[in-house]
Protein backbone atom coordinates (compact mmCIF):
# COMPACT_ATOMS: atom_id res chain seq x y z
CA UNK A 1 0.00 0.00 0.00
CA UNK A 2 1.38 3.52 -0.87
CA UNK A 3 2.22 5.97 1.94
CA UNK A 4 -1.03 7.38 3.34
CA UNK A 5 -1.29 10.85 1.84
CA UNK A 6 -4.20 13.24 1.69
CA UNK A 7 -4.75 15.62 -1.25
CA UNK A 8 -4.79 19.40 -1.18
CA UNK A 9 -8.39 20.61 -1.15
CA UNK A 10 -9.54 23.37 -3.48
CA UNK A 11 -12.68 24.68 -5.12
CA UNK A 12 -13.15 23.92 -8.82
CA UNK A 13 -14.88 26.67 -10.80
CA UNK A 14 -14.91 27.34 -14.54
CA UNK A 15 -12.29 24.65 -15.14
CA UNK A 16 -9.82 26.05 -12.60
CA UNK A 17 -8.84 25.18 -9.06
CA UNK A 18 -9.14 27.94 -6.45
CA UNK A 19 -7.61 28.11 -2.99
CA UNK A 20 -9.47 29.68 -0.07
CA UNK A 21 -9.61 29.70 3.73
CA UNK A 22 -11.98 27.33 5.39
CA UNK A 23 -12.29 24.73 8.14
CA UNK A 24 -10.16 21.79 9.28
CA UNK A 25 -10.87 18.24 8.11
CA UNK A 26 -10.35 15.67 10.89
CA UNK A 27 -9.21 12.06 10.74
CA UNK A 28 -11.89 10.24 12.79
CA UNK A 29 -9.39 7.51 13.73
CA UNK A 30 -7.14 9.84 15.76
CA UNK A 31 -8.79 13.30 15.58
CA UNK A 32 -5.70 14.78 13.86
CA UNK A 33 -6.13 17.54 11.26
CA UNK A 34 -5.71 16.26 7.69
CA UNK A 35 -6.13 19.50 5.74
CA UNK A 36 -8.22 22.64 5.42
CA UNK A 37 -11.31 22.56 3.26
CA UNK A 38 -11.84 25.89 1.47
CA UNK A 39 -15.07 27.85 1.82
CA UNK A 40 -16.56 29.47 -1.27
CA UNK A 41 -17.43 33.17 -1.06
CA UNK A 42 -20.48 34.74 -2.70
CA UNK A 43 -18.16 35.77 -5.56
CA UNK A 44 -17.08 32.14 -5.97
CA UNK A 45 -20.72 31.01 -6.09
CA UNK A 46 -21.58 33.69 -8.64
CA UNK A 47 -18.60 32.58 -10.73
CA UNK A 48 -19.78 28.97 -10.49
CA UNK A 49 -23.28 29.98 -11.62
CA UNK A 50 -21.93 31.86 -14.63
CA UNK A 51 -19.52 29.05 -15.46
CA UNK A 52 -22.26 26.43 -15.21
CA UNK A 53 -24.47 28.35 -17.64
CA UNK A 54 -21.53 28.70 -20.08
CA UNK A 55 -20.68 25.02 -19.61
CA UNK A 56 -24.28 23.99 -20.20
CA UNK A 57 -24.36 25.77 -23.58
CA UNK A 58 -21.30 23.81 -24.72
CA UNK A 59 -22.21 20.47 -23.17
CA UNK A 60 -25.79 20.21 -24.40
CA UNK A 61 -24.47 20.82 -27.92
CA UNK A 62 -21.87 18.05 -27.52
CA UNK A 63 -22.99 14.76 -29.07
CA UNK A 64 -24.06 12.05 -26.60
CA UNK A 65 -21.29 9.79 -27.96
CA UNK A 66 -18.61 12.42 -27.31
CA UNK A 67 -20.04 13.12 -23.86
CA UNK A 68 -19.96 9.40 -23.09
CA UNK A 69 -16.31 9.21 -24.21
CA UNK A 70 -15.27 11.90 -21.74
CA UNK A 71 -17.35 10.50 -18.87
CA UNK A 72 -16.04 6.97 -19.46
CA UNK A 73 -12.48 8.28 -19.47
CA UNK A 74 -13.10 9.89 -16.07
CA UNK A 75 -14.20 6.51 -14.70
CA UNK A 76 -11.12 4.87 -16.21
CA UNK A 77 -8.86 7.42 -14.51
CA UNK A 78 -10.63 6.93 -11.18
CA UNK A 79 -10.09 3.18 -11.50
CA UNK A 80 -6.38 3.76 -12.15
CA UNK A 81 -6.15 6.04 -9.10
CA UNK A 82 -8.06 3.73 -6.80
CA UNK A 83 -5.31 3.30 -4.20
CA UNK A 84 -4.65 6.98 -3.57
CA UNK A 85 -8.39 7.68 -3.57
CA UNK A 86 -9.14 4.81 -1.18
CA UNK A 87 -6.46 5.94 1.27
CA UNK A 88 -7.75 9.52 1.33
CA UNK A 89 -11.29 8.23 1.84
CA UNK A 90 -10.32 6.03 4.78
CA UNK A 91 -8.32 8.88 6.31
CA UNK A 92 -11.23 11.34 6.18
CA UNK A 93 -14.25 9.06 6.63
CA UNK A 94 -12.84 6.15 8.63
CA UNK A 95 -14.21 3.19 6.69
CA UNK A 96 -11.97 0.11 6.25
CA UNK A 97 -9.70 0.41 3.23
CA UNK A 98 -11.38 -2.55 1.48
CA UNK A 99 -14.74 -0.76 1.74
CA UNK A 100 -13.18 2.44 0.37
CA UNK A 101 -11.93 0.50 -2.67
CA UNK A 102 -15.37 -1.04 -3.14
CA UNK A 103 -17.02 2.37 -2.94
CA UNK A 104 -14.74 3.70 -5.67
CA UNK A 105 -15.40 0.68 -7.88
CA UNK A 106 -19.13 1.11 -7.31
CA UNK A 107 -18.86 4.83 -8.11
CA UNK A 108 -17.04 3.98 -11.37
CA UNK A 109 -19.67 1.39 -12.23
CA UNK A 110 -22.40 4.02 -11.78
CA UNK A 111 -20.49 6.54 -13.90
CA UNK A 112 -19.98 3.98 -16.68
CA UNK A 113 -23.58 2.84 -16.71
CA UNK A 114 -24.90 6.41 -16.80
CA UNK A 115 -22.44 7.34 -19.55
CA UNK A 116 -23.70 4.51 -21.75
CA UNK A 117 -27.34 5.20 -20.89
CA UNK A 118 -26.84 8.87 -21.83
CA UNK A 119 -26.68 7.69 -25.45
CA UNK A 120 -30.15 6.20 -25.08
CA UNK A 121 -32.14 9.14 -23.71
CA UNK A 122 -34.83 8.58 -26.32
CA UNK A 123 -37.90 10.67 -26.96
CA UNK A 124 -41.11 9.43 -28.65
CA UNK A 125 -43.14 10.07 -31.74
CA UNK A 126 -46.84 10.00 -30.91
CA UNK A 127 -49.23 8.73 -33.61
CA UNK A 128 -51.60 11.51 -34.64
CA UNK A 129 -53.82 12.64 -37.50
CA UNK A 130 -52.28 12.86 -41.01
CA UNK A 131 -50.17 15.97 -41.47
CA UNK A 132 -49.63 16.40 -37.74
CA UNK A 133 -46.61 15.04 -35.91
CA UNK A 134 -46.14 15.07 -32.13
CA UNK A 135 -42.53 14.50 -31.12
CA UNK A 136 -41.54 14.24 -27.47
CA UNK A 137 -37.95 15.40 -26.93
CA UNK A 138 -36.06 14.61 -23.75
CA UNK A 139 -33.80 17.57 -23.16
CA UNK A 140 -31.23 18.27 -20.41
CA UNK A 141 -32.99 20.00 -17.53
CA UNK A 142 -30.21 22.62 -17.18
CA UNK A 143 -27.92 23.61 -14.34
CA UNK A 144 -28.14 21.25 -11.34
CA UNK A 145 -27.37 22.24 -7.73
CA UNK A 146 -26.22 19.09 -5.94
CA UNK A 147 -25.56 18.46 -2.24
CA UNK A 148 -23.79 15.25 -1.22
CA UNK A 149 -23.21 13.84 2.30
CA UNK A 150 -20.18 12.66 4.31
CA UNK A 151 -20.87 8.93 4.46
CA UNK A 152 -20.01 8.10 0.83
CA UNK A 153 -17.41 10.72 -0.14
CA UNK A 154 -16.95 9.45 -3.71
CA UNK A 155 -19.92 7.36 -4.80
CA UNK A 156 -22.59 9.83 -3.69
CA UNK A 157 -21.07 12.76 -5.64
CA UNK A 158 -20.36 10.33 -8.52
CA UNK A 159 -24.04 9.46 -8.75
CA UNK A 160 -25.06 13.09 -9.03
CA UNK A 161 -22.26 14.12 -11.40
CA UNK A 162 -22.73 11.09 -13.65
CA UNK A 163 -26.50 11.57 -13.84
CA UNK A 164 -26.26 15.25 -14.65
CA UNK A 165 -23.43 15.03 -17.17
CA UNK A 166 -24.79 11.95 -18.94
CA UNK A 167 -28.09 13.73 -19.51
CA UNK A 168 -26.29 16.79 -20.92
CA UNK A 169 -26.61 19.03 -17.84
CA UNK A 170 -24.03 21.18 -16.04
CA UNK A 171 -23.65 20.87 -12.27
CA UNK A 172 -22.55 22.80 -9.22
CA UNK A 173 -21.68 20.21 -6.59
CA UNK A 174 -21.47 21.15 -2.94
CA UNK A 175 -19.85 18.11 -1.41
CA UNK A 176 -19.38 17.39 2.29
CA UNK A 177 -16.96 19.61 4.21
CA UNK A 178 -16.23 16.70 6.56
CA UNK A 179 -15.16 14.27 3.82
CA UNK A 180 -14.19 16.49 0.87
CA UNK A 181 -11.31 14.54 -0.74
CA UNK A 182 -13.58 12.01 -2.46
CA UNK A 183 -15.28 14.78 -4.43
CA UNK A 184 -12.01 16.62 -5.12
CA UNK A 185 -10.44 13.47 -6.58
CA UNK A 186 -13.57 12.65 -8.56
CA UNK A 187 -13.66 16.13 -10.08
CA UNK A 188 -9.95 15.90 -10.91
CA UNK A 189 -10.63 12.69 -12.85
CA UNK A 190 -13.33 14.47 -14.88
CA UNK A 191 -11.04 17.45 -15.47
CA UNK A 192 -8.23 15.17 -16.66
CA UNK A 193 -10.71 13.33 -18.88
CA UNK A 194 -11.41 16.60 -20.71
CA UNK A 195 -14.75 17.81 -19.41
CA UNK A 196 -15.20 21.37 -20.75
CA UNK A 197 -14.81 24.27 -18.28
CA UNK A 198 -17.94 25.12 -16.32
CA UNK A 199 -19.74 21.80 -16.92
CA UNK A 200 -18.67 20.54 -13.50
CA UNK A 201 -18.04 22.89 -10.56
CA UNK A 202 -17.16 21.98 -6.99
CA UNK A 203 -17.71 24.18 -3.95
CA UNK A 204 -17.62 23.84 -0.17
CA UNK A 205 -18.69 26.17 2.60
CA UNK A 206 -21.38 26.62 5.22
CA UNK A 207 -24.04 24.23 3.84
CA UNK A 208 -27.07 26.39 4.71
CA UNK A 209 -25.52 29.53 3.22
CA UNK A 210 -24.70 27.76 -0.05
CA UNK A 211 -28.05 26.01 -0.45
CA UNK A 212 -30.03 29.14 0.43
CA UNK A 213 -28.06 31.13 -2.14
CA UNK A 214 -27.97 28.62 -4.99
CA UNK A 215 -31.45 27.08 -4.93
CA UNK A 216 -33.42 30.29 -5.64
CA UNK A 217 -31.12 31.31 -8.54
CA UNK A 218 -33.05 31.33 -11.84
CA UNK A 219 -30.18 29.48 -13.57
CA UNK A 220 -30.60 26.48 -11.25
CA UNK A 221 -33.23 24.12 -12.65
CA UNK A 222 -32.89 21.03 -10.44
CA UNK A 223 -31.92 20.42 -6.83
CA UNK A 224 -30.54 17.07 -5.73
CA UNK A 225 -29.81 16.39 -2.06
CA UNK A 226 -28.68 13.33 -0.13
CA UNK A 227 -28.75 13.68 3.65
CA UNK A 228 -31.03 13.88 6.66
CA UNK A 229 -34.81 14.22 6.60
CA UNK A 230 -34.93 17.56 8.49
CA UNK A 231 -32.47 19.20 6.08
CA UNK A 232 -34.18 17.54 3.10
CA UNK A 233 -37.51 19.05 4.16
CA UNK A 234 -35.93 22.49 4.43
CA UNK A 235 -34.32 22.26 0.99
CA UNK A 236 -37.44 20.76 -0.60
CA UNK A 237 -39.50 23.65 0.81
CA UNK A 238 -37.06 26.18 -0.60
CA UNK A 239 -37.04 24.41 -3.96
CA UNK A 240 -40.85 24.35 -3.93
CA UNK A 241 -41.03 28.05 -3.15
CA UNK A 242 -39.03 28.69 -6.31
CA UNK A 243 -40.81 25.94 -8.29
CA UNK A 244 -37.66 23.84 -8.73
CA UNK A 245 -37.95 20.09 -9.13
CA UNK A 246 -35.89 18.12 -6.62
CA UNK A 247 -34.45 14.68 -5.98
CA UNK A 248 -34.52 14.04 -2.24
CA UNK A 249 -32.51 11.02 -1.08
CA UNK A 250 -33.11 11.11 2.68
CA UNK A 251 -32.81 8.89 5.70
CA UNK A 252 -34.25 5.46 6.34
CA UNK A 253 -34.77 3.00 9.19
CA UNK A 254 -34.57 -0.25 7.27
CA UNK A 255 -36.56 -3.21 8.60
CA UNK A 256 -35.29 -6.78 8.14
CA UNK A 257 -37.97 -9.46 8.31
CA UNK A 258 -36.57 -12.89 9.13
CA UNK A 259 -39.08 -15.66 8.41
CA UNK A 260 -38.94 -18.98 10.25
CA UNK A 261 -38.24 -20.98 7.06
CA UNK A 262 -34.58 -19.88 6.94
CA UNK A 263 -31.40 -20.98 8.73
CA UNK A 264 -31.18 -18.53 11.67
CA UNK A 265 -27.39 -18.75 12.06
CA UNK A 266 -26.68 -18.18 8.36
CA UNK A 267 -29.08 -15.23 8.06
CA UNK A 268 -27.66 -13.73 11.29
CA UNK A 269 -24.11 -14.00 9.91
CA UNK A 270 -25.14 -12.27 6.65
CA UNK A 271 -26.97 -9.61 8.68
CA UNK A 272 -23.90 -8.80 10.77
CA UNK A 273 -21.87 -8.24 7.60
CA UNK A 274 -24.65 -5.98 6.28
CA UNK A 275 -24.79 -4.01 9.51
CA UNK A 276 -21.00 -3.44 9.74
CA UNK A 277 -20.87 -1.82 6.27
CA UNK A 278 -19.65 1.76 6.79
CA UNK A 279 -20.23 1.17 10.54
CA UNK A 280 -23.97 1.41 9.92
CA UNK A 281 -23.67 4.99 8.63
CA UNK A 282 -25.70 4.20 5.56
CA UNK A 283 -29.23 5.32 4.74
CA UNK A 284 -30.09 1.71 3.80
CA UNK A 285 -28.36 0.11 6.81
CA UNK A 286 -30.36 -2.86 8.18
CA UNK A 287 -31.61 -1.67 11.58
CA UNK A 288 -34.91 -3.10 12.85
CA UNK A 289 -34.85 -6.91 12.78
CA UNK A 290 -38.27 -8.56 13.07
CA UNK A 291 -37.69 -12.28 13.60
CA UNK A 292 -40.41 -14.93 13.71
CA UNK A 293 -40.74 -16.43 17.20
CA UNK A 294 -39.73 -20.00 16.24
CA UNK A 295 -36.17 -18.92 15.39
CA UNK A 296 -35.91 -15.71 17.47
CA UNK A 297 -33.59 -17.02 20.15
CA UNK A 298 -31.27 -18.82 17.75
CA UNK A 299 -31.07 -15.81 15.43
CA UNK A 300 -30.44 -13.37 18.29
CA UNK A 301 -27.74 -15.52 19.91
CA UNK A 302 -25.97 -16.07 16.58
CA UNK A 303 -26.18 -12.36 15.72
CA UNK A 304 -24.75 -11.28 19.09
CA UNK A 305 -21.93 -13.87 18.91
CA UNK A 306 -20.90 -12.71 15.41
CA UNK A 307 -21.20 -9.05 16.43
CA UNK A 308 -18.74 -9.57 19.30
CA UNK A 309 -16.20 -10.96 16.80
CA UNK A 310 -16.20 -7.84 14.58
CA UNK A 311 -12.75 -6.24 14.71
CA UNK A 312 -12.95 -2.48 15.19
CA UNK A 313 -9.94 -0.22 14.58
CA UNK A 314 -8.11 2.09 12.17
CA UNK A 315 -9.51 1.53 8.68
CA UNK A 316 -6.01 1.59 7.18
CA UNK A 317 -5.25 -1.72 8.92
CA UNK A 318 -6.75 -4.33 6.57
CA UNK A 319 -7.45 -6.65 9.54
CA UNK A 320 -10.18 -4.31 10.83
CA UNK A 321 -13.77 -4.89 9.72
CA UNK A 322 -15.18 -1.67 11.13
CA UNK A 323 -13.46 1.72 11.35
CA UNK A 324 -14.30 4.66 13.60
CA UNK A 325 -17.59 6.53 13.25
CA UNK A 326 -17.17 9.54 11.00
CA UNK A 327 -17.63 12.23 13.64
CA UNK A 328 -18.27 12.76 17.33
CA UNK A 329 -22.00 13.46 16.72
CA UNK A 330 -22.46 9.80 15.88
CA UNK A 331 -20.83 8.67 19.17
CA UNK A 332 -23.16 10.96 21.09
CA UNK A 333 -26.19 9.59 19.25
CA UNK A 334 -25.15 5.94 19.86
CA UNK A 335 -24.60 6.58 23.57
CA UNK A 336 -27.91 8.40 23.97
CA UNK A 337 -29.88 5.76 22.05
CA UNK A 338 -28.38 2.81 23.94
CA UNK A 339 -28.95 4.49 27.32
CA UNK A 340 -32.55 5.28 26.40
CA UNK A 341 -33.30 1.77 25.07
CA UNK A 342 -31.80 -0.08 28.03
CA UNK A 343 -33.59 2.25 30.47
CA UNK A 344 -36.83 1.27 28.72
CA UNK A 345 -36.10 -2.45 29.13
CA UNK A 346 -34.10 -3.50 26.05
CA UNK A 347 -31.48 -6.24 26.58
CA UNK A 348 -27.91 -5.26 25.61
CA UNK A 349 -26.30 -8.33 23.98
CA UNK A 350 -23.13 -6.88 22.44
CA UNK A 351 -21.17 -3.62 22.42
CA UNK A 352 -22.81 -0.63 24.03
CA UNK A 353 -19.94 1.66 24.97
CA UNK A 354 -17.29 3.73 23.21
CA UNK A 355 -13.88 2.13 22.63
CA UNK A 356 -11.09 4.34 24.03
CA UNK A 357 -11.25 8.12 24.06
CA UNK A 358 -9.14 9.07 21.04
CA UNK A 359 -10.80 8.52 17.69
CA UNK A 360 -14.52 7.87 17.34
CA UNK A 361 -14.54 4.07 17.79
CA UNK A 362 -17.79 2.37 18.75
CA UNK A 363 -18.48 -1.38 18.55
CA UNK A 364 -21.24 -3.18 16.73
CA UNK A 365 -24.02 -3.00 19.31
CA UNK A 366 -26.94 -5.40 19.58
CA UNK A 367 -30.14 -4.72 21.50
CA UNK A 368 -32.97 -7.25 21.81
CA UNK A 369 -36.59 -6.90 22.99
CA UNK A 370 -36.50 -3.19 22.27
CA UNK A 371 -39.79 -1.44 23.06
CA UNK A 372 -41.44 0.48 20.22
CA UNK A 373 -41.18 3.72 22.18
CA UNK A 374 -37.38 3.54 22.47
CA UNK A 375 -35.77 6.45 20.62
CA UNK A 376 -33.66 4.11 18.46
CA UNK A 377 -36.82 2.36 17.22
CA UNK A 378 -38.23 5.64 15.90
CA UNK A 379 -35.20 7.74 14.88
CA UNK A 380 -32.57 6.64 12.39
CA UNK A 381 -29.52 5.56 14.45
CA UNK A 382 -27.13 6.04 11.51
CA UNK A 383 -24.50 3.97 13.27
CA UNK A 384 -23.60 0.40 14.30
CA UNK A 385 -26.81 -0.35 16.18
CA UNK A 386 -28.92 -3.46 15.50
CA UNK A 387 -32.36 -3.77 17.15
CA UNK A 388 -33.88 -7.26 17.28
CA UNK A 389 -37.49 -8.07 18.16
CA UNK A 390 -39.71 -11.15 17.89
CA UNK A 391 -42.89 -11.20 15.79
CA UNK A 392 -45.70 -13.75 15.70
CA UNK A 393 -46.49 -13.64 11.99
CA UNK A 394 -45.43 -12.21 8.66
CA UNK A 395 -48.43 -9.87 8.72
CA UNK A 396 -47.35 -8.48 12.08
CA UNK A 397 -43.80 -8.04 10.77
CA UNK A 398 -45.02 -6.12 7.71
CA UNK A 399 -47.23 -3.94 9.88
CA UNK A 400 -44.32 -3.09 12.18
CA UNK A 401 -41.95 -2.57 9.25
CA UNK A 402 -44.37 -0.01 7.80
CA UNK A 403 -45.15 1.69 11.10
CA UNK A 404 -42.49 4.40 10.81
CA UNK A 405 -42.71 7.43 8.52
CA UNK A 406 -39.62 6.18 6.58
CA UNK A 407 -39.56 4.01 3.48
CA UNK A 408 -36.17 3.71 1.82
CA UNK A 409 -34.79 0.17 1.95
CA UNK A 410 -36.30 -3.00 3.43
CA UNK A 411 -34.97 -6.55 3.60
CA UNK A 412 -36.30 -10.01 4.25
CA UNK A 413 -35.05 -13.56 4.58
CA UNK A 414 -37.32 -16.34 3.36
CA UNK A 415 -37.35 -19.32 0.99
CA UNK A 416 -41.08 -19.06 0.34
CA UNK A 417 -42.29 -17.53 -2.93
CA UNK A 418 -45.63 -16.89 -1.22
CA UNK A 419 -43.88 -14.80 1.48
CA UNK A 420 -41.92 -12.92 -1.18
CA UNK A 421 -45.15 -12.05 -2.94
CA UNK A 422 -46.72 -10.74 0.27
CA UNK A 423 -43.61 -8.72 1.06
CA UNK A 424 -43.39 -7.25 -2.45
CA UNK A 425 -47.03 -6.18 -2.21
CA UNK A 426 -47.08 -5.06 1.40
CA UNK A 427 -43.76 -3.36 2.23
CA UNK A 428 -43.72 0.43 1.95
CA UNK A 429 -40.22 1.16 0.65
CA UNK A 430 -38.47 2.20 -2.54
CA UNK A 431 -36.20 -0.85 -2.42
CA UNK A 432 -36.81 -4.36 -1.13
CA UNK A 433 -34.01 -6.96 -1.12
CA UNK A 434 -34.73 -10.58 -0.31
CA UNK A 435 -32.01 -12.83 1.16
CA UNK A 436 -29.23 -10.28 0.61
CA UNK A 437 -28.27 -6.71 1.55
CA UNK A 438 -27.51 -4.96 -1.73
CA UNK A 439 -30.17 -2.28 -1.92
CA UNK A 440 -29.23 -0.93 -5.35
CA UNK A 441 -26.87 -1.31 -8.29
CA UNK A 442 -26.11 1.07 -11.15
CA UNK A 443 -28.89 -0.36 -13.33
CA UNK A 444 -31.69 -0.12 -10.76
CA UNK A 445 -33.69 2.88 -9.53
CA UNK A 446 -32.91 3.87 -5.96
CA UNK A 447 -34.97 6.17 -3.74
CA UNK A 448 -37.59 6.42 -1.06
CA UNK A 449 -41.26 6.76 -0.26
CA UNK A 450 -42.90 8.64 2.64
CA UNK A 451 -40.39 10.87 4.48
CA UNK A 452 -37.42 9.07 2.93
CA UNK A 453 -37.82 11.34 -0.07
CA UNK A 454 -38.70 11.32 -3.73
CA UNK A 455 -37.08 11.08 -7.13
CA UNK A 456 -34.76 8.26 -8.09
CA UNK A 457 -31.02 7.89 -8.63
CA UNK A 458 -29.74 5.08 -10.84
CA UNK A 459 -31.38 3.13 -13.63
CA UNK A 460 -33.26 4.72 -16.51
CA UNK A 461 -35.56 6.36 -13.94
CA UNK A 462 -32.56 8.15 -12.42
CA UNK A 463 -31.40 9.67 -15.68
CA UNK A 464 -34.93 10.80 -16.51
CA UNK A 465 -34.88 13.11 -13.47
CA UNK A 466 -32.15 15.14 -15.20
CA UNK A 467 -34.27 15.71 -18.31
CA UNK A 468 -37.46 17.54 -19.24
CA UNK A 469 -40.00 16.23 -21.72
CA UNK A 470 -40.82 18.76 -24.40
CA UNK A 471 -43.60 18.00 -26.88
CA UNK A 472 -43.15 19.52 -30.36
CA UNK A 473 -46.31 19.35 -32.47
CA UNK A 474 -45.82 20.08 -36.14
CA UNK A 475 -48.59 20.58 -38.67
CA UNK A 476 -47.13 20.09 -42.14
CA UNK A 477 -47.93 23.05 -44.40
P1 LIG B 1 -27.33 16.99 9.43
O2 LIG B 1 -28.79 16.90 9.39
O3 LIG B 1 -26.70 18.15 10.13
O4 LIG B 1 -26.71 17.01 7.95
C5 LIG B 1 -27.01 16.04 6.98
C6 LIG B 1 -26.29 16.44 5.68
O7 LIG B 1 -26.86 17.63 5.16
C8 LIG B 1 -24.81 16.77 5.83
O9 LIG B 1 -24.13 16.24 4.71
C10 LIG B 1 -24.76 18.29 5.86
O11 LIG B 1 -23.55 18.80 5.32
C12 LIG B 1 -25.90 18.66 4.96
N13 LIG B 1 -26.57 19.89 5.31
C14 LIG B 1 -26.94 20.31 6.55
N15 LIG B 1 -27.63 21.47 6.49
C16 LIG B 1 -27.70 21.80 5.16
C17 LIG B 1 -28.29 22.88 4.44
N18 LIG B 1 -29.00 23.84 5.08
N19 LIG B 1 -28.15 22.90 3.10
C20 LIG B 1 -27.48 21.93 2.45
N21 LIG B 1 -26.92 20.88 3.07
C22 LIG B 1 -27.03 20.81 4.41
O23 LIG B 1 -26.83 15.64 10.08
P24 LIG B 1 -25.40 14.97 10.21
O25 LIG B 1 -25.04 14.88 11.65
O26 LIG B 1 -24.39 15.54 9.28
O27 LIG B 1 -25.76 13.53 9.65
C28 LIG B 1 -26.56 12.68 10.43
C29 LIG B 1 -27.89 12.44 9.83
O30 LIG B 1 -27.91 12.72 8.45
C31 LIG B 1 -28.22 10.98 9.97
O32 LIG B 1 -29.08 10.81 11.05
C33 LIG B 1 -28.85 10.60 8.67
O34 LIG B 1 -30.24 10.59 8.81
C35 LIG B 1 -28.54 11.70 7.73
N36 LIG B 1 -27.68 11.33 6.59
C37 LIG B 1 -28.26 10.65 5.58
C38 LIG B 1 -27.51 10.29 4.49
C39 LIG B 1 -28.12 9.54 3.35
O40 LIG B 1 -27.41 8.86 2.64
N41 LIG B 1 -29.41 9.67 3.12
C42 LIG B 1 -26.16 10.62 4.44
C43 LIG B 1 -25.59 11.34 5.50
C44 LIG B 1 -26.37 11.70 6.57
DSSP state of 213: H
Query: Which pLDDT tens digit goes with each residue over 200-246?
Result: 999 999 999 999 999 999 999 999 999 999 999 999 999 999 999 99
Listing DSSP states for 134-196 in one string gives EEEEEEE--EEEEE--SSSTTHHHHHHHHHHHHTT-EEEEE--SSS-HHHHHHHHHHHHHTPP
Q: Is 93 in the pocket of ligand 1 (CB under 6 A)?
A: no
Query: Which pLDDT tens digit goes with each residue over 401-416?
Result: 999 999 999 999 999 9
Find out whether 25 and 180 touch, Cβ atoms under 8 Å.
yes
Atom number, ligand 1, closest to the C-alpha of residue 148: 9
| Whole-model pTM over 0.85 | yes
Would you state the pLDDT for residue 4? 82
Q: Output the residue whose Cα is nearest ligand 1's atom 2.
A: 228
Find out whether 142 and 164 touch, Cβ atoms under 8 Å.
no
Q: Is 249 in the pocket of ligand 1 (CB under 6 A)?
A: yes
Q: Output the residue whose Cα is nearest ligand 1's atom 8.
A: 149
Per-residue pLDDT of the chain (477 residues; tens, 9 = 90+): 667 899 999 999 999 999 999 999 999 999 999 999 999 999 999 999 999 999 999 999 999 999 999 999 999 999 999 999 999 999 999 999 999 999 999 999 999 999 999 999 999 999 999 999 999 999 999 999 999 999 999 999 999 999 999 999 999 999 999 999 999 999 999 999 999 999 999 999 999 999 999 999 999 999 999 999 999 999 999 999 999 999 999 999 999 999 999 999 999 999 999 999 999 999 999 999 999 999 999 999 999 999 999 999 999 999 999 999 999 999 999 999 999 999 999 999 999 999 999 999 999 999 999 999 999 999 999 999 999 999 999 999 999 999 999 999 999 999 999 999 999 999 999 999 999 999 999 999 999 999 999 999 999 999 999 999 999 999 998
Domain 11-250+452-473 shares a fold with domain 254-442: no
Atom number, ligand 1, closest to the C-alpha of residue 379: 32
Q: Is 385 in the pocket of ligand 1 (CB under 6 A)?
A: no
Q: Is 297 assigned a catalytic role?
A: no
Bridge-based pairing of strands 124-126 and 132-140 is antiparallel
- Most informative mutation of 152, 231, 278 for ligand 1 (most atoms within 8 A of CB): 231
Q: How far does the centroid of ligand 1 lie from the alpha carbon of residue 329, in Å?
A: 11
Would you state the pLDDT for residue 2? 63
Bridge-based pairing of strands 143-147 and 132-140 is unpaired
11-250+452-473: CATH number: 3.40.605.10
Q: Is 283 assigned a catalytic role?
A: yes
Would you state the pLDDT for residue 1? 62
Q: Is 380 in the pocket of ligand 1 (CB under 6 A)?
A: yes
Q: Is 246 in the pocket of ligand 1 (CB under 6 A)?
A: no
Q: Is 384 in the pocket of ligand 1 (CB under 6 A)?
A: no
Q: Output the residue whose Cα is nearest ligand 1's atom 17.
A: 208
Find out whether 433 and 411 touch, Cβ atoms under 8 Å.
yes
Q: Where are the domains of the chain?
A: 11-250+452-473, 254-442
Q: How far does the centroid of ligand 1 lie from the alpha carbon of residue 399, in Å?
A: 28
Q: Which residues have a Cβ under 8 Å from the Cβ of 292 and sit 6 or more positions away?
A: 258, 259, 260, 390, 391, 392, 393, 394, 397
Q: Please give the CATH superfamily to which domain 254-442 belongs.
A: Aldehyde Dehydrogenase; Chain A, domain 2 (3.40.309.10)
Amino acid sequence: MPMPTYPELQLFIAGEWRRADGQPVLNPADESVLATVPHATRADLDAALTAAQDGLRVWRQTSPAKRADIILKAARLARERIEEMAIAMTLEQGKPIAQSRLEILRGCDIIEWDAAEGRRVYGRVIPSEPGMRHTVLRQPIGVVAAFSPWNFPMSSPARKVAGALSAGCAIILKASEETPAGAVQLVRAFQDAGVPPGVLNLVFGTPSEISEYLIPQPAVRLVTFTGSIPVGKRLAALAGQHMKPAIMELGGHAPVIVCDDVDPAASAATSVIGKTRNAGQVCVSPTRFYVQEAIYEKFTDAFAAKAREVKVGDGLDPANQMGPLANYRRIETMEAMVADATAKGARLLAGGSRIGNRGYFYPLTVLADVPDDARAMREEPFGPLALINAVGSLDEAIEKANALPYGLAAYAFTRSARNVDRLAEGIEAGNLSINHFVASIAETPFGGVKESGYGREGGTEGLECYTVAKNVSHLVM
